[in-house]
Amino acid sequence: MPCNTTSSTGCGELVSVGEPVLHRRADPIVGKYGVWMQDPEAAALYGPEMVWRIDTIGTEVRQLFGYEDMEQFSRGFPSKVLLLPEPVESTGATLYRGSLYYQRRRSRTILCYDLASESLAARRDLPHAGFHGQYPYSWGGYTDVDLGVDEKGLWAIYSTNKAKGNIVLSKLNPKTLEVMQSWETAIRKNSVANAFMICGRLYTVASYTSPNTTVNLAYNTASGQDKAVAVPFRNKYRYNSMIDYNPAQRKLFAWDNSHIVSYDVRLGTPQAN
């Protein structure tokens, strides 16, 4: 069997991030900041091709736009518009198993909104989490709580007074939103531009405006260790307000100065334990 340095299915370390692929431009007035998503484990009503988007400028952000597939998304006409029961805070929302997970505006409350029933399925305060500008990423934007999904499940990336601004990672129960396990890192949250989870590892991006920056730090929840890395990353449009990983597609989704883009990622061969 030939030696293979990369893996399409295993959970090795991040090796490279591809060039950004542009899917559409959002409206430059309301769409400078936002979040777009596809469900990596879609439920029956909305399949894995469905694309969802939230424009996050404004004080009462409650509209969730749905598109049948990437082609319709690129054309720009939603097939579904849902009005969320409570307003969204910033760009940290994510989709998982038929539900939208998001932070309620001006609070540390996490909400689970079931897309099929169009109703709240769960709500819970994220214990001690800073909110509304206490511990954002370096670009600001009230990005105190960032929710994400990887091969291991649903995560919250945030900080607390006890952690003194360092990133705290919590694995969440997707049904109850209960914290199952937490890790306190040595990474200052406001020193990095954004972060995402892949295979139980946290990765951070150094700059949100530099066109040629890096994925600069990695924290492994399995070992509790962090380390410096230097994986090239492109902010082609020079203002990246959201970066999330989709484990089903092995892509990063991002929102870069009204430009909605994705990046292919390559992972190395998993290390034997």
Domain ranges of the chain: 6-268
What does the mean pLDDT of the chain come to? 94
Tokens of 151: 């091969």
Element (H, E) at 74: helix 70-75
Model pTM above 0.75: yes
**Could you report the per-residue pLDDT of 18-27, keeping only the tens digit for each?**
999 999 999 8
**Could you report the per-residue pLDDT of 122-171, keeping only the tens digit for each?**
999 999 999 999 999 999 999 999 999 999 999 999 999 999 999 999 99
DSSP summary character for residue 189: G
- What pLDDT does residue 270 have? 84
Q: Half-sphere exposure of 3 toward its Cβ, with a 13 Å CA cutoff?
A: 1
CATH code, 6-268? 2.120.10.30
- What pLDDT does residue 7 have? 46
Question: Cα–Cα distances in Å, from 175 out to 74, 100, 124, 163?
Answer: 32, 12, 11, 26
> Alpha-carbon distance 255 to 51, whole Å?
14
- What pLDDT does residue 66 have? 97
Identify the burial level of 227 via C-beta atoms within 10 angstroms of its C-beta, where 0-12 means exposed, 13-18 middle and 19 or more buried: exposed
**Could you report the per-residue pLDDT of 212-226, keeping only the tens digit for each?**
999 999 999 999 999
- What pLDDT does residue 272 have? 56
Which pLDDT band holds residue 75 (cuts at 50, 70, 90)?
A: very high
Tokens of 254: 């991002």
